[in-house]
Copies of this chain bind each other. A is one copy, B any other.
């Protein structure tokens, strides 16, 4: 199983809450926020946030806030950036943009905001 491996690699206890959370994140396969999944969650919300924190400090997930002012979490399968549409609020995962470098900085994450393909087309 993937989950067992993920947890073991990070030297974390495999608890039922963690299994549940990782299963959700795996299944979704796109950024999700607390509101999206709170009804599915068996665990207490404090446990949810503590595990999110733990996973983040172990580089297992990343998070960012979207235009709806909600924080989105996703598994860090492969590093990639995100595009958030200012019109429809859709979050898209972009393939890694490898030409983005800033002199003197180490870029680890990029979030683009603007107008997505769909919304651009509809505005014509």
Contacts and interface: CB of A to CB of B under 8 A. Distances in A.
| Size bracket, chain A contacts | 20 to 34
B83 A102 contact: yes
A100 interface: yes
Please give the count of copies of this chain that the complex contains. 2
Nearest to A117: B104
Interface stretch (A2-10, A20-28, A39-47, A108-116): A108-116
Contacts of A83: 102, 105
A48 interface: no
A86 interface: yes
A112 B117 contact: no
Interface stretch (A11-19, A30-38, A64-72): A64-72
B94 A106 contact: no
Contacts of A94: 102
Contacts of A102: 83, 94, 97, 112
